[in-house]
Chains A and B, each alone.
Chain A
Amino acid sequence: MAEFTEALFSIFFVETLINGLLLGGVLALLSLGLNLIFGVVDVVWICYAEIIMLGMYTIYFLVKAGVPLPIAALAGIAVTSALGYLTHKIIIARILDAAPINQLLATGGLLFFFQGIAMVAFGIEFRNLGVSLGSLAVTQDIYLSWTRLASFAISAIVVVGLYFFLSRSYLGAAIRAISQDREIMTLMGVDTKRLYLLTSAIGGALAGLAAALLAMQYDIHPFIGLSFGPITFVICVMGGLGNMVGGFLAAFVFAELITVGGYFAELEWGYVMAFVFFVVTMFIRPEGLFARKS
């Protein structure tokens, strides 16, 4: 017990909490695009993490070819945005009226397809971008990586930007309206098909942004999607699928659970704790942790 108390008031625990906060920023960005697509199109993209993976590869190869990182990141965003657009255009648009579970499974097929493409084209070796922004020494003991700080800042900016886009712009209003009642909106003369495509492209672009931030922190390989895909879905569900503010907050709860769990035991136990917390939450509040009462 003494050990536990000591660990709790250690300076490294503070560092852990801050790192959890920073991880939360990235997770929030990851879940944002998926949440947007779900809220509007009402389809869960199981392959979302694989789109991010392809974005990471795009950025990796461009940087290795000598393209500056910011431009490579923009190109990555363009690629994932196109992938999001095509995913809807080619697959989802055909099965909009099918059972929800079939839609989920079709994007699951896309997951294998994307993994296969990545394996064929890029092989299975781990690739590292090798870009480091160094770290910031807060005190003598606490070091925070600039990459993580930047990721957190960018996530925060994008979340705020998306909030204003949805609440202030005409298109944003249309997107919000369609997520509330898709049938009525069609009757009102709104072109739902176009809005769905637009949302999918925006969702894809957010995946590209997440890819740029992740590519700086993690090794890239064809199956990396499986390592953060499940967390992303779980965050979306925990925040209430389609509820972006809820998803944003849930990302931080989840990130703290993972890092604090990893601090006291191994990182895997952090994940186990977070997933168990998720399952328990689902039973207490099936609509999601932060869902408003309807």
Chain B
Amino acid sequence: MNSKTVIAIIAAILIALPFIGVESYPLHLVIVILIWSFAYTAWSIMGRFGLVSLGHGAFMSIGGYVTALLWNNMGLTPWLGIPVAMLLSALLAIVIGYPCFRYKIVGHYFALVTLALSEVVRQVIIATRDTTGGSLGYTPERHGEGISIIALQFSNDRIYFYYIALLVWLAGLLIWRYIDRSMSRYALEAISEDEDASAAIGVQVTREKLKVTVLSAVMTAFAGAMYCQYQMFISPDTIGGVGISLQIVFAVVVGGIYNMLGPTIGAIITLMLAEVLRIGIGTATVCVTDSICLNAAGVPLLIYGILLIVFIIFWPKGIVGAVYDAWMSRGSTTDGSGTAAGPAPAATAKAD
């Protein structure tokens, strides 16, 4: 079976998904995974070049909140609200990014500056609680019953949103591939190796970095708006703050930062894991004795943490990267690559 057949089969399954008896709840999971996959892909577009941002929760919040606030207060349709949010996000990316790149703030300094950024946006949302609802969250107003094209609301009929999310996710992958094949990729790879040397051979360091950062920020804002339109509820902790910023980075690290499908695989694994653990273990409180009670709600977090540490130590390239390496060297060594053959063909086909 060659790679084209595999892609065709996967594409057929994805298109037919709502019609082959998939219930509302699994479809909901798939939609959520697709939206987050897009956000993770957006992050990895800059993250793969060593520009590790811990501030993407800020861009996501801007996407969600600006769109919802414009709709509720000014009646501006999300068709225009989302571009406005993306524009604001791009501006913020320039305001933060330009001085960072100009003054060579790199590595963990860059990570910490962006971490401060996500905290600023979260605190602003909480401080302006009279308009944004603060930490209690915010809900876009319903535009009549049922489906509203102008408000981009699709009530409980998940099929529409499924196809929208699928298209957006695909667009994310195409943008990833476009960057992967562009000259910018070589410039940025050179920059991540040695900034001074690449500047010396004529790479415009600040400009290249800024381009990819703005692109990533704009895409993340779009993901935030998508999340808002789908869930019809946003709060500083569900689409912003340090927690979400870290979640974005970690999902990509687990999936694989250097492959097109890495962020998607990361989203599937982390979100499914959280869901399975949540349902399997529940949120019950189990009392071993009268005084010692264990709260199961913390277990997903605990396992998630261990998983991340294990990945960083043993598979820093992520699952897709590890499988890809194993697949590439399968002729020379007969290791256990067969056990994880599922995503391998697709990854191999699309990796480069």
Contacts and interface: CB of A to CB of B under 8 A. Distances in A.
Interface of A: 44, 46, 91, 94-95, 98-102, 104-106, 108-124, 222, 226, 229-230, 233-234, 237, 241, 265-266, 268-269, 271-272, 275-276, 278-279, 282-283, 286
Contact of A268 (B50, B111, B123, B242): B123
B253 interface: yes
A106 B313 contact: yes
A109 B242 contact: no
A109 B105 contact: no
A222 B103 CA distance: 37
Interface of B: 50, 52, 96, 99-100, 103-105, 107-109, 111-113, 115-117, 119-120, 123-124, 126-127, 241-243, 246, 249-250, 253, 285, 293-309, 311-313, 316
Given A91-B313, A110-B305, 5 more contacts: A105-B250, A233-B115, A268-B126, A272-B123, A275-B117
Please report whether the interface of chain A is mostly helix, strand, loop or mixed according to DSSP.
Answer: helix
Contacts, number: 157
Which residue, of B119, B124, B300, has the highest number of chain A Cβ atoms within 10 A?
Answer: B119
Contact of B305 (A112, A234, A279, A283): A112
A94 B313 contact: yes
Contacts of B309: 91, 106, 109-110, 113
B285 A100 contact: no
Nearest to A101: B52
Tell me whether chain B's interface is mostly helix, strand or loop, or mixed: helix
Contact of A101 (B111, B242, B246, B293): B111
A153 B273 CA distance: 47
A268 B309 CA distance: 33
A112 B242 CA distance: 12
Contacts of B305: 109-116
B296 A120 contact: yes
Given A91-B309, A113-B302, A114-B305, A272 B112 contact: no
B263 to A, nearest CB: 15
A276 B116 CA distance: 8
Contacts of A115: 298, 301, 305
Contacts of A94: 313
Contacts of A95: 312-313
B306 A113 contact: yes
Closest 3 CB pairs of A and B: A119-B298, A116-B302, A113-B305
A124 B117 CA distance: 27
Nearest to A123: B295
Contacts of B303: 116
A108 B246 contact: yes
A48 to B, nearest CB: 13
Nearest to A104: B108
Contacts of A104: 52, 108, 111
Nearest to A229: B242
Given A110-B309, A282-B109, A275 B304 contact: no
A279 B298 contact: no
